[in-house]
Amino acid sequence: MSVDFKKIQLSIVVPVYNEAVNLNSLFKRLETVMDDLGRSYEIVCINDGSKDDTLSRLIECHQRNPNIKVINLSRNFGKEIALTAGIDYATGAAVIPIDADLQDPPELIGELVEKWQEGYDVVYCTRRSRKGETWLKRFTANAFYRAISKMSRVPIPQDTGDFRLLDRRVVEALKLLPERTRFMKGLFSWVGFKQTAILFDREPRLQGTTTWNYWKLWNLALDGIISFSSLPLKIWSYLGLSISFLSLLYASFLVLRTIIFGIDVPGYASIIVAVLFLGGIQLITLGVLGEYLGRVYEEVKGRPIYLVRDVYGFESSATKLDTNNACE
């Protein structure tokens, strides 16, 4: 069943996980911005298995304002999958993902729309500064963005999150990508189209504490690198070739030394060091191969990307979009 995308001009997509304390402020600012713009809109909220009263508050907000719509996933699938679900269900001519913690200011939506009207298909927000974050967080974030920009064939903008405007053509292209290990920042860049950036200063989190610890950020970084680069696989081929070449040189040196000076007893310590070093290299290589193989295993199983328990505010035509991702 087809959906008339012209009825709603802007879809705001908000993945939500344990964000009950921020919802009132979020919707107040979003509604003010959208009312000032004077455009038809919807706010698509995805409850990603929250453990607090986020869902009940979302339903209350939907009852107060029908433009607020709720997708309740069957469990916690992670932000990247929740964002995918919101994009699948959004019906606007343009879609704007935004975080619920208000670190991405809703007041920038007007600037995003202006760039969109100038003819850009994707308008992404690049952080000029990151307030309220430790030096370690800023350092690791900068290191990751610079590393993946060097390793990936697809140029991924540095210091840029999910906050951006996506034209309907871009949204339809994203919905054609079936992979289950999803690094959305990379996918936004992979689809191409005409893109531009605006700069902003990222504010500290409004309330509550983030669930993104360093372990989760590390796994997200691995997903991004493995999804958009095969360089980690190539590195070990080059490293193995280099070690073999050095070994050949050392073997030649030993032969010449034996011929000239006679046979001596080599050191035990050097043998142990060489064995442990090569053993470590082999284990790291197996680990890298395992990461890629594990993702292949996830893909071939063919499971749905996410499952929806219930929805609030969607008509039948909107909840039955032509996608293989969602199951109700």
- CB-CB contact of 70 with 47 (8 Å): yes
Topology at the third CATH level for domain 10-229+303-319: Spore Coat Polysaccharide Biosynthesis Protein SpsA; Chain A (3.90.550)
Please state the domain extents for the chain.
10-229+303-319, 231-301
**CA angle, corner 234, sides to 228 and 235, nearest 5?**
105
- Radius of gyration for the alpha carbons in the chain, expressed in angstroms and rounded: 25
How high is the pLDDT of residue 104? 82
Nearest to 70 by CA among 45, 41, 43: 45
Intra-chain end-to-end CA distance of the chain, in Å: 16
How high is the pLDDT of residue 209? 58
How high is the pLDDT of residue 313? 82
How high is the pLDDT of residue 180? 79
Q: Rounded to whole angstroms, what are the CA distances from 113 to 100, 148, 167, 280, 291?
A: 20, 29, 10, 52, 40
Q: What is the pLDDT along the chain (328 residues), one digit of tens a residue?
A: 344 444 778 888 988 888 888 888 888 888 888 888 888 888 888 988 888 888 888 888 888 888 889 899 888 888 888 888 888 888 888 898 988 888 888 888 888 888 888 888 888 888 776 665 666 666 666 666 666 666 667 777 777 778 889 988 888 888 888 777 787 777 888 888 888 888 877 765 555 555 555 566 666 666 666 666 666 767 766 777 777 667 667 667 766 766 676 665 566 556 666 676 777 777 777 777 777 777 777 777 777 888 888 888 876 434 434 444 444 4
How high is the pLDDT of residue 4? 47
- CB-CB contact of 232 with 290 (8 Å): no
Question: In this structure, are strands 94-97 and 160-167 parallel, antiparallel, or unpaired?
Answer: antiparallel
- CB-CB contact of 37 with 12 (8 Å): no
